[in-house]
């Protein structure tokens, strides 16, 4: 009994404990409900979970607050600092719950000390984020053009992953005239979508139809999806081939290579199968025959080049093409192809030159037409546009007279003496790319006119001729050059007539009309004519004739053709004898007499020397004669043995080649010293009048020689300057530089010089003759004739003599 009563006493106590535990469990099992839209961004606020669960923020960490979810991963998270539940990652309702109407995320919140468990439900709200989707993007339907009206064709509808209004779909068919859309009512949801034929099909009108079926959901904003309905209308053979164009226009370059594609024809047959299989060909009634230049592929309709395409032969081809199908009976279609051949620059210009005159006078006026030029080019447009040019630079130019016609005209003055013949090249170049050209040569000969007078090499010539030349001797040759041609350059020579003293010039010299050779017609005498100056005229044979003159100075060179002539001693003397008294008391060296002589020649030929000829038995003569002075002086004192009358022979000779001489006789009478001589040693035996006459003769002679020498010097200086200014000529003869050599004060009044003479034979070097002379006696005292003046002649000669 006690046991039973004890057991009964414990049973109410256990029941009370169970009730308390159940109340505590129910209090911990209190559920919190939240909602969040799908696709919310990270950090989106969901709810204040700590506050809603009655927990303090300070105890979240100490009580080890944590959240666990069943199969939802870390989609939601709690911030322990503020106790807020937020979205941690992307939430996709369709992925999480599929097509279920309700979709929630269940969380368990656990805290310890004491242990408590809370249940939280977060509902995921659907948004319209999925468009309707058809099973395929395109659906092909094949419908015969013979199907009856109101025929139905089933279609598959679209599906939407969303729920509710977002998944409520409506359909719409693109506008067309053949089909409408049959949509089942709510009572006929099991029936599919259907196309309903409302107009008969015609494949030849529309062989294919492309319709778009669009499904739209009820969400906001609306989303839609589409499917293309490709409807093929099956054919019934009832059409002929038809080209896309009745006339085709094609451009083709000439010289196109074989195989070049011209055009690919496109003919269509609305039928199908063999009835739409088309073959192409040329029609046979076309001229010229196209098959000579083209070929056509019967299957593809390609027309290609099969021969020569030449723009210059055929500019436009007209081809007739026939297309035939394989129906029974066959049906035909036709088209025309116009092939325009395009020109390329394959033809060079062609030049034709017509000369109007074989030669052009050099005085032709500007603008004179010399030749006509025509140019052609078979190409067209710019390829056939030709321009002409002239090379090299010449006194001509091209003048365009008409299209592709030119004239070669004179553009500047001609001068045959500068250029006698021109060869110009006319170049014709077209405007193609690359351009082609052709050339033609034109030779223009310049005809001479008489516009140049004969010209001498120098305006004046100096000629040296030895005197006593034989008659007809050639003394010089003048030459004038005429720059003209033919008869205009034919030069003839003549003398410009003048008088020389009392005689005409033509009596002295003559000139050969053709060769220009000058001849001396008579012997020339230096003593009579030292200088012959005249002009020679050169004239051409042109019309009108032109001429020019040149001056010639002919110097007659002296030859030794005059012997020394003794001067007459004056009153008391006769012949060649000189009488002079001499006192016996005179000593050695005393001048007792003087022989005076002159020579009509000049230069060396007039240079006199004196020599005492000894007689037989008079070997010890007390007299001697000065070599160049002619003074007779004593060699010793006279004695009684000497004869009272002394006869001296003095030989006076010049220095010519050969030398000429004269002999003077001097008679000396010895008188005693008591009888003074009638004249001083200077006066000899001459009277004052005779000595005055002798002095006058010497003065005149000196003046004449000085004048002649000065004239020669001036002439030779001028000649030398002219020769130096002219370019040197091999083999030319010219005088050398004169070198004056004078004797001492005791010499005669004549001097010599160095003469250089180049012989015109051209053999050997030029010869130089140097002749210097001086007295052979020593200088004497001033007792000599100091009144005589010395004089030097300086003559430089280049000699052209007659042999």
Token pair in block for residue 763: 């053999």
Q: Quickly tell me which residue has 């001697």 as its tokens.
A: 624
DSSP 175: P
- The C-alpha atoms of residue 299 and residue 277 are separated, in whole angstroms, by 9
* E strand or H helix at 84: strand 84-87
Looking only at the bridges linking them, the beta strands covering 565-566 and 597-598 are: antiparallel
Token pair in block for residue 282: 């040329």
Half-sphere exposure of residue 64: CA atoms within 13 angstroms, side-chain side: 8
Count of Cβ atoms closer than 10 Å to residue 221 Cβ: 6
Token pair in block for residue 66: 């944590």
Q: Please tell me the predicted confidence (pLDDT) of residue 76.
A: 84
Is pTM beyond 0.75? Reply is no
Q: Please tell me the predicted confidence (pLDDT) of residue 286.
A: 59
- Residue 66 backbone phi and psi in degrees, to 5: -150, 155
Q: Please tell me the predicted confidence (pLDDT) of residue 117.
A: 87
Count of Cβ atoms closer than 10 Å to residue 516 Cβ: 19
> Cis omega before residue 658 (within 30°)?
yes
Do 53 and 107 touch, CB atoms closer than 8 A? no
Q: Which of 343, 323, 339, 341 lies closest to 248 in space, CA to CA?
A: 339
Token pair in block for residue 332: 């035909």
Q: Please tell me the predicted confidence (pLDDT) of residue 96.
A: 81
Collect all residues with Cβ–Cβ distance below 8 Å to 24 and sequence separation of at least 6.
none
Q: Which of 289, 248, 292 lies closest to 267 in space, CA to CA?
A: 248
Q: Based on the number of CB atoms within 10 Å of its own CB, is 430 exposed (0-12), middle (13-18) or buried (19 or more)?
A: buried
- Classify 486 as helix, strand or coil: helix
Do 802 and 473 touch, CB atoms closer than 8 A? yes
Q: Quickly tell me which residue has 């020679």 as its tokens.
A: 536
Q: Please give the torsion angle defined by the CA atoms of residues 86, 88, 93 and 95, in that order, rounded to the nearest 10 degrees.
A: -160
- The C-alpha atoms of residue 216 and residue 134 are separated, in whole angstroms, by 11
Q: What is the 3-class SS of 496-523, one letter each residue?
A: ECCEECCEEHHHCEEECCCCCEEEECCC
Residue numbers in the chain where pLDDT is lower than 70: 1-30, 71-72, 185-191, 235-237, 285-288, 569-576, 615-619, 673-698, 725-803
Q: Please tell me the predicted confidence (pLDDT) of residue 618.
A: 55
Do 356 and 368 touch, CB atoms closer than 8 A? no
Q: Please give the torsion angle defined by the CA atoms of residues 350, 356, 358 and 363, in that order, rounded to the nearest 10 degrees.
A: -120
Q: Which of 180, 168, 161, 167 lies closest to 229 in space, CA to CA?
A: 180
- Classify 667 as helix, strand or coil: strand
Q: Quickly tell me which residue has 């606020």 as its tokens.
A: 45
Q: Please tell me the predicted confidence (pLDDT) of residue 217.
A: 87
- Classify 329 as helix, strand or coil: coil
Do 67 and 111 touch, CB atoms closer than 8 A? no
Looking at 257-368, which runs of residues are DSSP E strands? 261-264, 267-268, 278-282, 294-296, 302-305, 316-325, 332-342, 350-355, 359-361
Collect all residues with Cβ–Cβ distance below 8 Å to 393 and sequence separation of at least 6.
none
* Edge-first strand listing for the sheet containing 645-653: 577-583, 661-671, 645-653, 609-613
* Edge-first strand listing for the sheet containing 179-182: 152-155, 193-197, 179-182
Q: Which of 495, 493, 786 lies closest to 629 in space, CA to CA?
A: 786
- The C-alpha atoms of residue 410 and residue 371 are separated, in whole angstroms, by 10
For every residue of 610-652, DSSP letters joined together read EEEEPPTT-SS-SEEE-TTT-EEEESS---TTS-SEEEEEEEE
Q: Quickly tell me which residue has 């164009």 as its tokens.
A: 245
* E strand or H helix at 27: helix 2-28
């Amino acid at each position: 009994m006690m046991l039973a009563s004890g057991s009964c006493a414990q049973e109410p106590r256990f029941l009370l404990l169970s009730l308390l535990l159940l109340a505590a469990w129910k209090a911990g099992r209190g559920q919190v409900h939240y909602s969040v839209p799908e696709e919310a961004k990270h950090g989106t606020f969901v709810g204040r979970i700590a506050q809603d669960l009655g927990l303090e923020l300070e105890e979240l960490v100490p009580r080890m607050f944590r959240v666990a979810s069943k199969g939802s991963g870390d989609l939601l998270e709690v911030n322990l600092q503020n106790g807020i539940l937020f979205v941690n990652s992307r939430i996709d309702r369709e992925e999480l719950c599929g097509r279920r109407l309700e979709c929630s995320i269940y969380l368990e919140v656990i805290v310890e000390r004491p242990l408590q468990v809370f249940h939280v439900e977060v509902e995921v709200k659907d948004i319209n984020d999925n468009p309707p989707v058809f099973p395929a993007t395109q659906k092909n339907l094949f419908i015969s053009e013979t199907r009856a009206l109101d025929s139905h064709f089933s279609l598959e509808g679209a599906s939407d992953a969303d729920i509710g209004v977002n998944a409520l779909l409506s359909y719409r068919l693109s506008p067309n005239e053949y089909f409408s859309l049959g949509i089942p009512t709510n009572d006929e949801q099991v029936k599919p979508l259907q196309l309903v034929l409302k107009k008969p099909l015609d494949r030849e009108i529309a062989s294919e139809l492309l319709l778009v079926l669009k499904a739209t959901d009820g969400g906001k904003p609306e989303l839609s999806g589409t499917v293309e309905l490709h409807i093929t209308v099956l054919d019934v053979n009832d059409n002929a081939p038809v080209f896309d164009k009745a006339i085709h226009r094609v451009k083709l370059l000439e010289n196109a290579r074989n195989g070049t594609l011209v055009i690919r024809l496109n003919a269509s047959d609305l039928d199908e199968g063999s009835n739409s299989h088309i073959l192409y060909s040329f029609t046979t009634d076309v001229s010229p025959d196209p098959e000579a230049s083209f070929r056509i592929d019967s299957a593809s309709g390609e027309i290609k080049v099969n021969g020569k395409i030449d723009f210059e032969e055929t500019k436009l081809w007209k081809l007739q093409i026939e297309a035939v199908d394989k129906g029974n009976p066959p049906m035909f279609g036709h088209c025309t192809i116009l092939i325009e051949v395009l020109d390329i620059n394959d033809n060079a210009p062609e030049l034709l030159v017509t000369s109007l005159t074989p030669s052009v006078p050099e005085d032709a006026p500007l603008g004179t037409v010399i030749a006509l030029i025509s140019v052609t080019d078979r190409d067209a447009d710019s390829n056939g546009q030709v321009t002409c040019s002239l090379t090299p630079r010449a006194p001509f130019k091209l003048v365009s007279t008409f299209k592709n016609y030119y004239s070669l005209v004179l553009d500047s003055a001609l001068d045959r003496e500068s250029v006698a013949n021109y060869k110009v090249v006319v170049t014709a170049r077209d405007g193609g790319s690359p351009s082609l050209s052709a050339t033609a040569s034109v030779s223009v000969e310049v005809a001479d006119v008489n516009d140049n007078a004969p010209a001498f090499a120098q305006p004046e010539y100096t000629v040296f001729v030895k005197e006593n030349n034989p008659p007809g001797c050639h003394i010089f040759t003048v030459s004038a050059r005429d720059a003209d041609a033919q008869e205009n350059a034919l030069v003839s020579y003549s003398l410009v007539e003048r008088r020389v003293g009392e005689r005409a010039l033509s009596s002295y010299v003559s000139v050969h009309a053709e060769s220009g050779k000058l001849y001396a017609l008579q012997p020339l005498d230096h003593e009579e004519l030292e200088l012959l100056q005249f002009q020679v005229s050169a004239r051409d044979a042109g019309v009108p004739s032109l001429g020019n003159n040149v001056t010639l100075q002919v110097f007659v060179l002296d030859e030794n053709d005059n012997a020394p002539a003794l001067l007459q001693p004056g009153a008391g003397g006769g012949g060649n004898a000189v009488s002079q008294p001499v006192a016996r008391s005179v000593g050695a060296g005393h001048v007792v007499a003087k022989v005076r002589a002159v020579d009509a020649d000049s230069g060396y030929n007039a240079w006199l020397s004196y020599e005492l000829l000894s007689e037989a038995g008079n070997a010890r003569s007390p007299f001697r004669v000065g070599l160049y002075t002619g003074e007779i002086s004593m060699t010793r004192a006279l004695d009684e043995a000497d004869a009272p009358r002394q006869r001296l022979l003095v030989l006076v000779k010049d220095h010519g080649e050969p030398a000429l001489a004269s002999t003077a006789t001097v008679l000396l009478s010895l008188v005693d010293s008591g009888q003074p001589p009638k004249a001083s040693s200077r006066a000899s035996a001459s009277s004052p009048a005779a000595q005055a006459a002798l002095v006058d003769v010497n003065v005149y002679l000196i003046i004449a020689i000085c004048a002649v020498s000065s004239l020669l010097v001036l002439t030779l200086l001028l000649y030398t300057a002219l020769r130096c200014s002219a370019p040197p000529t091999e083999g030319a003869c010219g005088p050398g530089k004169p070198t004056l050599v004078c004797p001492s004060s005791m010499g005669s009044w004549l001097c010599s010089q160095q003469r250089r003479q180049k012989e015109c034979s051209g053999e050997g070097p030029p010869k130089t003759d140097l002749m210097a002379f001086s007295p052979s006696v020593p200088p004497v005292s001033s007792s000599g004739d100091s009144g005589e003046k010395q004089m030097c002649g300086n003559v430089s000669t280049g000699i052209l003599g007659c042999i």
